[in-house]
Amino acid sequence: MYAIKRLMVGIDLTEMDDKLIAYLPVLEEIFHPEVIYFVHVAKTLKLPERVREKYPNMMAPVDESLENDIRKKIEKEYKPKSEIEFRYEIREGDPIREILNWSEIKEVDLIVMGRKNDMTGEGKLANRLARVAHCSIFFVPENVSEAHLKRVIVPIDFSKTSGMALNFAMEMKEHMGCDVVVQNSYEVPSGYSTIGKTYEEFAEIMKKNAREDASLFLKKRDIPEDEVSVVLSLDDEEDPAERAYEEASRQHADLIIIASRGRTGFASILLGSVAEKMIRYNSNIPLLIVKDKKENLGFFQALLRI
């Protein structure tokens, strides 16, 4: 797992900020960051001339006022246990472009964002950022009740990138003592009947094969099988994201960790179909989307130039 030393927290001045701040002690214990950037992006920071004339006492620049408000809130609600540098950035313009640009300039390792459904504001920003950000992203849903990590589930397809997601989970287990559940969705191929097997019989064959693949997957990463729980889900709807979310809900998982791409092998800066669907399905469980920052950076820079 690459080191997570530089965090960026998206602040939008709604009640969502309280939930993000509540997770900072958890992230601190896992990653031991050196610096956290608290970033707020406003469409405009300028006061209309007529408003300034009507309220002449509003002399402080809007950006300074916002920064002071955010600083007071953070310092009041979050007391880090270690030495962490806090930096505050008030930006103006398109939120996605500003956050992406700033994450590159500051070499951010992890972006922490709220995942909204019903709160004031829209969740589209978080979804779009997940698709093109060069680094990993941690989504906190609006209706999460408590900031803790007792059980983590990692959907895997035995790819290199899902191995990276599992590495993150094992790091969390080391620091937090949380349970790690490895979940894989297996399918029954359409030609099973040609060899005289029933659907149920071939499902058992595929489940046994998935179990063997899971054992080999763990062995290659020097992870003892008794360190994790392995769950194999029959996917008869060709929707591994839904199977993973169903299992996470059944297990009362506190976090889902998923790699941004699996079988395709294309640049992981762009989400794979499973990660895309997971964002859409999941509005109740925190979600960590793991991306390979080093491999993504060149492609990300090219995207920003489009």
Both structure tokens of 207: 């489940």
Cross-strand partners of 85: 35
Whole-model pTM: value is 0.85
Q: How far is CA 99 from the centre of its chain?
A: 15
Q: What digits encode the pLDDT tens for the residues 251-295?
A: 999 999 998 764 343 343 445 567 777 777 667 899 999 987 765
CATH of domain 1-145: 3.40.50.620
CA distance 63 to 98: 15
Q: Which of 230, 237, 240, 238 is nearest to 208 (CA)?
A: 230
User: Domain residues of the chain, as ranges?
Assistant: 1-145
* Beta strand 229-234 pairing with 35-42: unpaired
Beta strand residue intervals within the chain, DSSP E: 6-10, 35-42, 85-92, 110-115, 136-141, 151-155, 179-186, 229-234, 255-259, 287-290
pLDDT per residue of the chain (306 residues) written in tens, 0 to 9: 568 999 999 998 888 999 999 999 999 999 999 999 999 998 776 666 666 666 666 555 577 888 999 999 999 999 999 999 999 998 888 888 888 888 989 999 999 998 876 544 445 666 677 778 888 999 998 888 788 899 999 999 998 888 999 999 999 999 899 999 999 999 988 876 677 778 888 899 999 999 999 999 999 999 999 999 999 999 888 888 889 999 999 999 999 999 876 434 334 344 556 777 777 766 789 999 998 776 544 544 444 444
pLDDT score of 148: 87
Q: Which of 241, 231, 230 is nearest to 287 (CA)?
A: 241
What is the phi/psi pair of residue 291, to 5°?
-130, 150
pLDDT score of 46: 67
pLDDT score of 54: 64
Q: Which of 57, 80, 56, 60 is nearest to 68 (CA)?
A: 60
pLDDT score of 264: 40
Q: How far is CA 54 from the centre of its chain?
A: 45
Q: What digits encode the pLDDT tens for the residues 138-172?
A: 999 888 878 889 999 999 999 888 899 999 999 99
